[in-house]
Amino acid sequence: MAATLLQGDKLASQIKDALRKDIEDLKAKGVRPHLVAVQVGENAASRVYIRQQQKACEEIGIAYELKELPDSTTQDEVLSFIEQLNQDQAVTGIILMMPLPKDLDAREVQMKISPDKDVEGMHPANMGRLIYGEMGLAPCTAHAAVELLKSTGVELKGKEVVVVGHSEIVGKPLALMLLSSQMDSPTPTVCHIATRDLTSHTKRADIVFVAVGKPGLIKADMVKDGVVVIDIGINRVPVTDASGNPVLNEKGKPKKKTVGDVDFETVKEKASVITPVPGGVGPMTTTMLLYNTVESAKRIAARK
Amino acid sequence: MAATLLQGDKLASQIKDALRKDIEDLKAKGVRPHLVAVQVGENAASRVYIRQQQKACEEIGIAYELKELPDSTTQDEVLSFIEQLNQDQAVTGIILMMPLPKDLDAREVQMKISPDKDVEGMHPANMGRLIYGEMGLAPCTAHAAVELLKSTGVELKGKEVVVVGHSEIVGKPLALMLLSSQMDSPTPTVCHIATRDLTSHTKRADIVFVAVGKPGLIKADMVKDGVVVIDIGINRVPVTDASGNPVLNEKGKPKKKTVGDVDFETVKEKASVITPVPGGVGPMTTTMLLYNTVESAKRIAARK
C-alpha cells in the first residue's frame, strides 16, 4: 500500500484565504499588519527566507519591511533597535533573521522582542501559554505540523504519538500542543539523541513526528504498517546517480536536493499518510508565520 | 526485595539550610523576602495550608502575611488588590489561596500576579522558561518531584520515564523539566485519562511519576521490578479495619487517612525506590515554595 501524500499547500491556501478576510476586518479598524524583519550582517541563507516571507506577506496584504543592521552592530545597539520596534505603534510583528553575527547573544535579542509582536512564538510568555492550551502565538513549525496532522481528520484520542527530536522550538512545544486537550489528547513520547532504543518507540507509534535534521533517520523497518508520518526535517544532500556518484550541476559543483529526516521512498510504502519534503510541513510553516502576524495585529487592535 | 523509602524531609532540610544563608545575604542588601497569601472568602482546607506556609516561612526567616478579602469581593476588586501587591516594593512574593469563591475567575486572578512575584511558578512567562531549561520560578510540586528524584543519584540519561497525569501544574511542566538537559535527558511519555493502555507504559518504565488523584491507581502488576516510583497524589480515604468496615473516630465519624495514587503496600515490594505518602513529595513541595520565595526576592534585589 502506498501512503496518501499529505501536502501543505492546500491547507496553506485555505488558511491564507481566511487571513485575507481577517486583514480586511483589521483594515476597517484602522490596523494594518506590518511585519519587520531584522537582519544583522550578511547571510545568504536568510536572503532566501526573506524573499519567501516578503512574497507571502504581500500576497495576502501584510506590509513587509526589511531592516538591515551592519555586521559591526553591538549587542546594546541591537537591543535598543528592537526596543524601538517594540514601541513603534505602526509595527505589529517583528522577526529576527538567524544566525546573528557570532559575537552577539542571539537568545537575549530574541527574548527582547515584545511577546505581543513575537510572530515566531518564541518568547517564554508565548511558550508558557501552550501549557494552558492556548495557541495564540505558537512556534510556527510545531504549529504547522500539528495543523497539518489535524487536517487529515485522524482522531487523536487514545493514539500513541512519538515525537523524535526535543528542540526548544519544535519538539518540546509540539509535545505540549499534543497534550492541549483535556480529554482528546494522544499519549506523546518525546525521543531524542539520548533515547536508548528509538525503534522500540517509533515501531509502536500510530503517529510519528520527526524534527532532528538527519536525513534517512527514520527507515521502513522502524515503523508499523499504516503509521502517519509528519516529517519536519529539512536537509540539503548531494544528488547521486544510479551508481551512487555525485551528479554535478552546470557550474561543475555537486548538485543538491532537499530531503527530510525520513527515508521517504521506503517509508511511504508502509505508511497510511506521509508528508513529502519539500512540499509538506514547509509551505505550512510560512503560513503559520502569516497567521501569527495577523494574530499579533489583532491583539494590538483589541487594545486600541 | 523491599524498596528504599525516599522521604522528603532530609532533602527539604538541606534546602532550607541553604535558603537561610541566602536570606542572610539578602538582608545585607536590604531585602527581606516577604510572602503575601491572599485568601478570598472562607475555606477550611486552605486554612491548613496557610498554617503550614506560615510556620515554614517563619522557620527560615521569610516574613509571611495573610490578606483576607470578604466572600463578596468582585473580580475587579481582587484584580486591583493583586495589582497593588505587584506594585508594593516591600512584597517580594504573592500566593493566591485556592479555591476562590465560585463566581470569580481564578485563572484571570492567578495570571494577574507579576511573573517576578509568582512564587507558585504558574504564570505563562515562568512556565515558558521551562522550555528553555530555566527553572528559576518553576511550579512547586513538579519541581519538588524532580529534585527528589535527582537526590537519589539515579542516572536519567537513556532512562524511560512515564508521567501519569497531564495537568497544567504538574504533568506538563514535569515532562518539560525532564527534557531540560540537551544530552542527559530521559525519554518521557505523558499518560493520562485518554491513554489507551496505561499498563503497557508503566510496565516498561524505569521511573514512574503519578499525579492523578486516584488512590490505588498504580498497582504492583503494572510496574517492573526495580522501578523508581514518585507518588505525587494526595488523597483522603476512609480508614477500614481488617474486615473492611470503616473505623470511626472519637466523634463517631469515619476516620480518614492520607494516601497517594500508588498501591503502596504491594508496589513497595517490587520497586527499588518509592516515595511514601505522606512524607515523600509533600514536605518538598512546601520547601520549593520557600525556594521560589527566596528566588523572587533575589530577582527583586538584583534590580535594586
Contact criterion met (CB below 8 Å) for B189 and B162: yes
Is domain B139-281 classified as CATH 1.10.3720.10? no
Q: Average pLDDT per run of 10 along chain B, which is 304 residues long?
A: 91 97 95 97 88 95 97 97 97 96 95 97 96 94 96 94 97 97 91 97 98 98 98 95 91 94 97 97 96 96 84
Which residue of B126, B160, B192 is in closest CB contact with A128? Answer: B126
**Domain spanning A139-282: CATH superfamily:** NAD(P)-binding Rossmann-like Domain (3.40.50.720)
Cβ <8 Å between B196 and A158: yes
In A, which residues are within 8 Å of B173 by CB distance?
A: 131
Mean pLDDT for A76-84 is 98
Alpha carbons B124 and B111: distance in angstroms, whole number:
8
Looking only at the bridges linking them, the beta strands covering B235-238 and B256-259 are antiparallel
Query: Testing the interface with A: which of B126, B155, B166, B204 to mutate, by most A Cβ within 10 A?
Result: B166
* Average pLDDT over every residue of A251-266: 95
Report the distance separating Cα B95 and Cα B88, nearest Å: 14
Pairs of CB atoms within 8 A across A/B: 114
- Cβ-contact B141, B163 below 8 angstroms: no
Instruction: Tell me the C-alpha distance between B184 and B158, whole Å.
Output: 7
Is the CB of B128 less than 8 angstroms away from the CB of A132?
A: no
Eight-state DSSP code of residue A198: H
CATH of domain B32-114: 3.40.50.10860
Residues of chain B neighbouring A127 (CB-CB closer than 8 A): 124, 127-128, 131-132
Q: How far apart are CA B223 and CA A83, in angstroms?
A: 53
Give all strands (DSSP E) within A97-192, no chain letters.
Answer: 160-164, 187-191
The strand pairing partners of A118, in sequence order, are A94
Contact yes or no for B194 and A172 at CB 8 A? no
- CB of B186 within 8 Å of a chain A CB? The answer is yes
Rounded to the nearest integer, the mean pLDDT of chain A is 95
ipTM: 0.95
CA distance A122 to chain B (A): 9
pLDDT at A243 over 70: yes
| 3-state helix/strand/coil string of A51-114 | HHHHHHHHHHCCEEEEEEECCCCCHHHHHHHHHHHHHCCCCCEEEECCCCCCCCCHHHHHHHCC
What's the DSSP call for residue A240? Answer: B
Residues A128, A139 contacting (CB under 8 angstroms)? no
Ramachandran area for residue A175 (φ above 0: left; ψ -120 to 50: alpha; else beta):
alpha
Give how far B206 is from chain A: nearest CA, Å: 12
* pLDDT at residue B106, rounded to an integer: 95
- Which pLDDT score, from 0 to 100, does residue B131 have? 96
Q: Is A32 exposed, middle or buried (0-12, 13-18, 19+ CB in 10 A)?
A: middle
Q: Which residues of A267-292 are buried (b: 16+ CB within 10 A; e: fewer)?
A: bbebbbbbbbbeebbbbbbbbbbbbb
What residues in A contact B195, CB-CB < 8 Å? Answer: 158, 187
Please name which of B92, B84, B81 lies closest in space to residue B32, comparing C-alpha atoms. Answer: B92
| CB of B201 less than 8 A from some CB of A | yes
Domain ranges of chain B: 32-114, 139-281
* Residue B221 to chain A, least CA–CA distance (Å): 21
A195 vs B: CB within 8 A: yes
Residues of B whose CB is below 8 A from A194: 157-158, 183-187
The arithmetic mean of pLDDT across residues A87-108, rounded, is: 95
| A203 touches B at CB < 8 Å | no
Which chain A residues are closer than 8 Å to B191 by Cβ?
Answer: 187
Contact A124 B123 (CB under 8 A): no
Q: Is the bond preceding A99 in cis, omega lying within 30 degrees of 0?
A: yes
**How far is the C-alpha of A296 from the C-alpha of A303, rounded, in Å?**
11
**A1: confidence class by pLDDT, cuts 50, 70, 90:** low
**B125 contacts on A by Cβ (under 8 Å):** 124-125, 128
Whether A169 and A143 have beta carbons less than 8 Å apart is answered as: no
- Work out the minimum CA distance from A127 to partner chain B, whole angstroms: 5
C-alpha distance from A103 to closest chain B C-alpha (Å) = 21
**Would the CATH topology of B32-114 be identical to that of B139-281?**
yes
What pTM was computed for the model? Answer: 0.95
- Chain B: residue whose CA lies nearest to A134: B124
- For residue B293, the one-letter residue type is T
Give pLDDT, residue B2.
83
Q: Name residue A198's amino acid.
A: L
User: Nearest to residue B160, comparing CAs of A171, A170, A176, A197?
Assistant: A197
- A160 Cβ under 8 Å from any chain B Cβ: yes
User: Measured between beta carbons, which residues in chain B are less than 8 angstroms from residue A192?
Assistant: 179, 185, 187
CB contact under 8 A, A195 and B187: yes
The pLDDT of residue B1 is 62
Note whether A128 contacts B132, CB cutoff 8 Å.
Answer: no
Interchain contact B152–A (C-beta under 8 A):
no
For A48, residues 6+ apart whose C-beta sits below 8 A from its C-beta are none
Q: Which residue of A has its CA nearest to B132?
A: A168
Let me know how long chain A is.
304
pLDDT of residue A80: 98
A117 shares contact with chain B (CB less than 8 Å): no
Any A CB within 8 A of B155 CB: no
Taking the CA of residue B171 and the nearest CA in chain A, the distance in Å comes to 10
DSSP H/E element including A44? helix A44-60
pLDDT digits (tens, 9 = 90+) for A61-71: 999 999 999 99
Q: Give yes or no for residue A304 having a pLDDT over 80.
A: no
**Structure confidence by residue, pLDDT tens digits, A101-143:** 999 999 999 999 999 999 999 999 999 999 999 988 999 999 9
How far away is chain A from the Cα of B264, in angstroms, using its nearest Cα? 25
Predicted confidence (pLDDT) per residue in A32-72, tens digit: 999 999 999 998 888 988 999 999 999 999 999 999 999 99
Is B125 touching A (CB cutoff 8 A)?
yes
CATH architecture of A30-117: 3-Layer(aba) Sandwich (3.40)
Check if B166 contacts A (Cβ < 8 Å).
Answer: yes
Q: Where are the alpha helices (DSSP H) in A203-280?
A: 264-267
Q: Average pLDDT of A170-191?
A: 94
DSSP string over B194-240: T-S-HHHHHTT-SEEEE-S--TT-B-GGGS-TT-EEEE---EEEE-B
DSSP letter, residue B167: -
Q: Give, in order, the Cα–Cα distances in Å from A53 to each of A126, B57, B133, B174.
A: 22, 53, 30, 36
Candidates A159, A191, A193; nearest CB to B183:
A193
Q: Name residue, grid cell 510553516.
A: A285
Inter-chain CB proximity B190 and A179 less than 8 Å: yes
Q: How far apart are CA A282 and CA A271, in angstroms?
A: 20
